[in-house]
Amino acid sequence: TPQTIDSNGATGNKSYHNHGTPPKIVIMDEPTANIDSQTDDRIQAVIQQVFGSSVTVITIAHRLNTIIESDKIMVLAHGTVGEFDTPHALLTDTVQYGPTGMFRGMVDALGETAAVRLETAAMKKDL
């Protein structure tokens, strides 16, 4: 069940179904951190199917394929926002982010094959 925070700041496991209304925001911290990429893809599809565009999903992730189809990506560096934009803009807007922006650098560090796959996914998201 989803982790919730009550009005006093205490955490606990509560299902949103018990409240009668679905959540407006879902926060996932590394939802696919310790699984293979095929299972990761399946989980991402289920998240999109279940929540769609009716819920704001905030995903904290290190795996770029987990977030590449997000509406926006926020790149944090030393506790501050380094970049914030669509995945496609972060990869292609060299005027704003330079040819070696933070997100661009992370994608390139994965190697050419992975970078092309992520760029293609980001471009499809923008269409």
Same domain, 48 and 92: no
CA dihedral 37, 16, 75, 8 (to 10 degrees): -140
Q: How would residue 18 be classed by pLDDT, with cut points 50, 70 and 90?
A: low
**Percent of the chain having pLDDT more than 90?**
36
Q: Is residue 55 part of a domain?
A: yes
Strands 73-77, 11-13: pairing is unpaired
> Concatenated DSSP letters for 53-87?
TTSEEEEE-S-HHHHTTSS-EEEEETTEEEEEE-H
Q: Is residue 76 part of a domain?
A: no
Q: Is residue 31 part of a domain?
A: yes
Q: What is the chain's mean pLDDT, rounded?
A: 82
Is the confidence at residue 11, as pLDDT, over 70? Answer: no
Domain holding 40, by residue range, is 1-67
Same domain, 103 and 46: no
